[in-house]
Structure 1
Amino acid sequence: MTTNYGAEQIQVLEGLEPVRKRPGMYIGTTGPRGLHHLVYEVVDNSIDEALAGYCTHIEVDINADGSVTVTDDGRGIPTDVHPTTGKSALETVLTILHAGGKFGSGGYKVSGGLHGVGISVVNALSEWVQVTVWRNQKIHTQRYERGIPVTTLETNPSSETKTGTRVSFLPDTEIFTQGIEFDYSTLSGRLRELAYLNAGVKITFSDNRPEEPHVETYCYEGGIKEYVAYMCREKETLHKDIIYVQGEKNGITIEVAFQWSIDAYSDNILGFANNIRTIDGGTHLEGLKAVLTRTLNNIARKRNKIKENEPNLAGENVREGLTAVISVKVPEPEFEGQTKTKLGNTEVRGIVDSLVGETLSDYLEQNPQVADSIIEKAVQAFKAAEAARRARDLVRRKSVLESSPLPGKLADCSERDPERSEIYIVEGDSAGGCFQGDTEIALADGRSISFKQLVAEQAEGKEHFCYTIRHDGTIGVERVINARITKKNAEVIKVTLDNGETIICTPDHRFMLRDGSYKPATSLTPDDSLMPLYRKLSDTGEPGSTIEGYEMVWNPASDSWLFTHLVADWYNRWRGVYSVEEGEHCHHIDFNKLNNNPTNLQRLSSADYLALHRHHIEKTLHRPDVIEKCRQLRQTEEFRSMMSQRMLDPETRQILSEQAKAQWEVEEYKAYMTEKWRAFYESNEDYRQQNTEQLYRAQQRYWRDGENRQVQAERVRQHFIEHPERREEYSLASKQQWQDRELLEWRREKTKEQWTEEFRSKRRAALEKTYYQKTLATLKQIEIDRGFVDLEAYQNYRLQTKDKSVLRFDSFCSRYFDGNEIQALEAVANYNHRVVSIERIEEKFDVYDIEVPHTHNFALSSGVFVHNSAKQGRDRRFQAILPLRGKILNIEKTDDAKIYKNNEIQSLITALGLGIKGEDFDASQLRYHRIVLMTDADVDGAHIRTLLLTFFYRYQKSLIEQGYVYIACPPLYKLERGKNHSYCYSDRELQQRIAEFPANANYTIQRFKGLGEMMPAQLWDTTMNPETRTLKQVEIEDAAKAEELFTILMGDRVAPRREFIETYGTRLNLADLDI
């Protein structure tokens, strides 16, 4: 690291324009958390100076007007002219994103902040910023307002030799609409944390808003050792000394301090990377946990605390009672997420493992009494956990559930802030049917496997990809997750398709129709057109096919074949795995050209592709014995005759053509042939006309291919990512054009010419039903009725119906298939599938389902697309779903041992983050602050809801008392009249809506007996969308009465319950029931 720090150390990567438009992208939120982040970003710059060894004192002041001032005694932000921007380095840093000394190797070795956008983002999101720099015995000042400099850089001489930077700013109320008042305790906690993490740095924090300013100073020479001591101050520690590890390897600095306590039953490990708290963990924490587990198990076996035939202590066992702080400083950190909550550098794990392992082993061997105490505590934790797993009979105040993994059937949300998260507890896998376990799914890896196999393979950690129909109607691939049994002993039906395949599924499972809509299995008829899956292997004998044996899949959107590996390649590019620029060749990593999992593909340049195959060929075709055999073969008469014939073969001609193309790479040859061709072209009028027509037809064929359009769309998207300023340029040019009166008049006249009456009529007909779709559907129906595409019968149908939107077959072929009848007939054959029959099955089966992110549909190997299970009706960012199988245990009349043995209860406790029954409620452990009970609107649904309320009331009443429990209100009915529809939430509301219709009105009523009968969009709009849904918060108005009712209605004494029902049952008006 150089000691120079001037304008040349400031690297510029991009501009500041997007920040005010989308502040959430840069600070996470414009609420209180984002507001305080502005302070942290300015302080982080001062901390960076401290890490570089140039700053010892940082002052943070909340001023009386609500602004904040941060002052340090570092070197001061450079003020000389930046060689790239032509502005001062100070203005460059404050007005351009990703401009600062933390980029490259010239400024800072390590740094914190929001990926380096910090101080410029503070400038952009503040009403004003005032900067003062002391440097080179001069004082430099400049003022900015909403990111724009309003004064020039003023420079005055100074008699002082001090150096440093002072940044004052007032957050902009236009951005922070919830208020700009800083919370003292929030800032105090973070500043104290920074002082612990940076030993010896003095931080003075002053709040000047009250009449008597409040001032605190933080300075800890012991660094994170003092941090651990601070956290353990109220605990009975198991060993006196705090174990401390410090070291550096490959430029990465590691600091770890930890101590065990006797009276703590969980671990408390804080991880930091470049002073940023990594609340979601990362490789540094993974390394620490791994080395602790391994080291303590080794010591335990060495000291005979674990017998040879006994299992190792688990990680959560050895960490019980542990308080630890790990701080790493990484020159090139890789963080997951804009707010830096998880460290991704893989090399950090090994460095932590190595340094901590050596120090901890030495310490424990030199202090055997401490080692024995830690191991004995871990062994006790292990025994307690085992006992709890067997009977959940608590041996002390420690729940194994706290360290259990989340239940597999939980569809969690991505939000990690419990206050922003909510969980829906649903009955079974509501809003989706399921399949018998032997039903097979078509996978992108070339296999078709059953749901049972899928569950087993996912349990082994294997990843699967299925075929799916994307939102634009094109074929795609997508991940398969959460394969599981959704219901045992379910009623099923058997669906037989026109290809002879049979599917056993629940009656409500939805099948995709050719238009992309869905229909429950039990409602399908032979007239329904099902979305098909067709696959084949490429054949070089077919026109246009140049590669042999690669899988192709039919694309319903374009009615054409696509190579499956190109579909999977698009998925990788869409997910950002790689880009087209990384190479023009799409390579199967395992050399299996039928395994089209996106994880099995990579992009390679021509050179890398050839090198890879050259290396591979040396292991096969280029072995000495193979070469000798080939030499002998080429000398035979049969070989010579065969080669003579092969020269006439189209494939050989193709090879020769490719060789000719290679010859065109020679510049001299290219120049000669170009000159000769131009002379021919300019002297031949007929050829020029023919060439123009060929080019026109070629571009039509090219743009008709959906894959080509997708590639171009990707190019355009990438262009605007690399050149964001172009959007503004095009927008400005467009606005200027629309102000040009001559241009507007010209456009107006052209529009009049175009919009003739004939054009309007044709356009209206095309919008109602396209010629293409109607013609294709009619041809398919002829094929179904006659067993083949009878063109005479088709023509008779056209003449009888006089439907001009059904094209003549030759016109259809010419317009959409370049006159190729074979391709047109192939499109007809692959248009759809039909249902032949549906029959009920007396036998009941366990049924399965999967979840498919984003598209929520998948292809069965039988050749049709179906919907996945119910979890798509939610917003995955903040909504989780936990399906419970059937009616959960009534804990009112069940002892604790049975409660903890029950799988559904375990899932519920673990998913919510609850502790042991009877423990004090700890809201910080609750994973969701809105727990929503969502059950079907029938008797079973009401019973399940009551059992859940009983669980919450008896197991952890504080959940209800503190307002965390809600009941969802899905509609009972969908009322449709014409194109309009409405949802009714009670019988009374339904009757009121019907009464508003005219007496002779036609309408339909759909009764939602279960959530599974609702489409995902319906479920979202009516029940889960925070903007439109209705939730009822569960409250206890009369605690004594509630206690009495739960005891009577849910207890194990029958007589009081009978008396209650006989007394109050006759008074119940079902229409008034509100639950």
Structure 2
Amino acid sequence: MAKNNTYTAEDITVLEGLEPVRKRPGMYIGSTDDRGLHHLVTEIFDNSLDEAIGGHAKHIYLSLNQNGSVTVSDDGRGIPVDMHPSGVSALEIAMTKLHAGGKFKKTAYQASGGLHGVGASAVNALSNNMTVVVTRGSKYYVQSYKRGNPDFKVKEIDSKTVKTYIPDFHKHLLKTKSGNLTTFSPDPTIFKTNTKFSFKRIKNQLRERAYLVAGVYIHLLQEKTGRKSNFYFESGIKSLLSHHNKSKKPLHEIIHIKGNADTPDYPIGVEVVMQYTDTYQEALISFANTINTYDGGTHLTGFRMALTRIIKDYAIKNNLIDEKSSKKLDNFTSDDMKEGLTAVVWIKMTSSEIQFESQTKTKLNNPEVQSAVYQTVRDQLEEYLEEHPNAGKIIVAKILLAAKARLAAKAAREAVVRKGILDGLTLPGKLADCQSKDPKLSEIYIVEGDSAGGCFSADTKIALADGRNISFKKLVTEQSQGKSHFCYTIRKNGQVGIEKFINARLTKKNTKVVRVYLDNKEVITCTPDHKFMLRNGNYKQAKNLTTKDSLMPLYKKMSSKAEKGITIEGYEMVWNPKSNSWLFTHILADWYNRWKKNYTLKSGDHCHHKDFNKLNNNPINLIRMPQVKHLELHRQHIGKTLHTEDVKEKCRKLKQTQKFRTAMSKRMKQPKTRDILSKNAKAQWQDQDYKNFMTQAWRDFYNNNESYRLKNKKQLNNAQKKYWNIKQNREAQSKRTEIYLQTHPEIKIQLSKIAKQQWQNEKLLSWRSEKTKEQWTPEFRKQRLHTLDKTYFKKTLNALKQIEKTNNGLNLEKYQQHRLETGDRSILRFDCFCSRFFEGNQEKAKEAVANYNHRIVKIEQVQKKADVYDAEVPSTHNFALASGIFVHNSAKQGRDRVTQAILPLGGKILNTERARLDKIVEFTELKDLIVALGIGIGETLNLENLRYHRVIIMCDADIDGHHIETLLLTFFFRHMREMVEKGHVYLAMPPLYKITHGKFEKYVYTEEDKDKTVNTLKEKHGSDTKINLQRYKGLGEMNPEQLWNTTMDPKTRTLKQITIEDLAKTDEIFNILMGADVPPRKKFIQSHAQIAELDV
């Protein structure tokens, strides 16, 4: 195109000022996020590109400068600087007035990307500062601006001064007679989230533009890193199509269509290249002049209409399909044409007539373009197919297969819908849905199977607080009827308790299970990944359990007055593993109610079972009431049941007999009866609950009575002085020490040797002396004693249990022999163990041994698969099975049930890059996902029906987890792209490490953060300080509380929103990663091996 050098101030037309741009930037650049930020570069660069399209420029330079600014220069004509008829320089008009520019006249640019005169002035308005240097007639002119306002009038500068405005990368401007340079910095008050430009993003954008403008050199530099890229292409959009299909297998040669369509006012240039490949997705790129119209428009509509018409007519005309078959396939549709199609559609028209939806220029609106493209493609494609029959047959065969798949997918979708209606199930059973029905507040976590937690067979029974043992299947039925359930649980402090058992449900169908055999002859069927609670409170998956593992037990019994300290008959008691003692279950229910503030101690001093069933210890069946009222209630109840008139008459007659009266008289006079009355009073103090109550009452009195505290302290001090002042007491203690050393001579010798060797070092003596003074604080002494007691207790109890198991009973002689053989001094003598922890009561100690744990006998794989169930236990996340052990429940607990739903996906996800829609709809895991989201798929997709506005992928931080993430992202990109484009898809970011040092605890999410934290701790505490690093490879390694705090709590979590910056580039990456060809994938992975994240 010949140069037009009559570009003057008269060509600049003014419409309005810049104030609207700063008030509503989104109207002009689309948004103020990363996309809007980079749109600033597009606007300035496209002005230079327009000069190249007009034949006025051969070189365009763009640099990302060290200070965060961007500079664009070209060797075009330069913006006019002479005076405009309005009395201001044309340069100032173009840069400071909205809708002012040189593209309104049909003679200015014939294929320009600029429009409405908004571009440069809008960028100026949204920039913190901007400088424009113009070269015209070998003279230099400059003007600077701040947020759209000029700093000074346009002025001419000399060749020396101009160098201060031109970066080294743009020095070419000093050698040209004309040209333009623009430097701008984005305004941080507008772009509040980010003002840093992406080299990668801009590089892809410039490469794309270079394909369109053949013969133009485009140069890019990132000043900070020194990275450079240069682009120059001669083959135009054919090269662009070849670039996009480089990792695909083409089915025929590239079809190139090029022509001009005349309209009444101006011609429209149409150029199209297209090629079908063996993939199942469409890659369609469209341009209007140099603008990438990401949202399509009338030019794409015209292309699709022509393609559908020509292919259908060609197929029928050449007997590749008859009209009857065409009707059976519901005719070829435009969607059928999409499968495997890669095409570039480019229209060129006068910039003064081009119409877009907005200044972001993502969708073309000119109606005349539709007919122009339709006419050109129809004529030339029909001619091409006639001349290339082999290509025609291949294309028709590909589309015919797509049409059949469309019908199969439609049938499958309808079958899913029909099944849902008939079964009354509109949502998958494995979905743990949220309570909220507002999509804006709701979010769904998609987790891989292992992260969803293990499950049990339908007949597995749960021990309930109401006295029943019922199966999961029965629980599901009862909960659907509105019935509440409570289970036994181990609380965070290790104490047995009661908690709600909710959301029982079928989670997986026909899945692999194992059988776990216990030492009490119970058998449990569950998934291999289900976690069992060990005796120390940790968890272990079923598949990893061994016969050496000690499981947390559940023991229950009925109370009997025959036992010491028991005053009520026939009430359920449960073994408390923390205190190694029995607790009444109704006391646990009472604790739960007070914890949940259902009532307080002030409500009364008696607990009452509402249904008069003392075995139903559901907290909702328990209330507190005053003693008088409670006894009166029972008297009334007895009056209605036992105290009927006939029963009363029989009792009255019995008490009147001489035999009864004589017996009662003798009984009351007996010393034994008197002793019983006395013992009953004393027995009350053996009740641990009573002791706890009285202890707390004493503490309250003690803490609130200063005079009593002083008096008590004085009495205790005097008592100990008096005790140790007695010679016999001191001698008795000395004797006990002497006897111990006599019975353990080996210990005395051993300790003597160690002490002599250790304390010969004077420096050590001095150092140890000082350290002992520092460390042996009262708090340290107390903690040390507690730790030692805990160690002695656990090791001794474990050893006793092992002896009991191997000898079918507790053999104390063999236990003593075991102690001597091991030489472990932390395993206590049985008498010492009883004295230290059970007040010398051997029966209590033996009971603790008997109830210590359960063990695994064996684990076997089950060949037959089974449906499995799961439930939720708030707060504690564990529950007791009727078989007598405690188990974990699923990862669904780390969530807010009001707004957060969980959908576990078991097994591998289908690679949708290589699958048609009919196969996708039939794939169980993806079908569940489609139903859960509610928006449909394919032609039925409707984003308005989305049930959750945040769809969060949460997978393990290992290779399998990343693979599942990629498969899901591929599915969303290929089949629910609109959901991604609208910003509804996220990745959860679980922590990589947990760092602990003493009481310090921190979760870190990157290697950089880990190194920084570790270095900070070492600087503070010394380089030799011990720092614990826990690497999280799977979500299952975190307990529900950790999962909530780190990954699911909206206040503390980190989510990565998935966006599509460059549609074509994203399509290429997914095709490489998930396509069939191995070499491109291998090359891509090798070249990105050191990159932590792929920004696609």
Larger Rg: 2
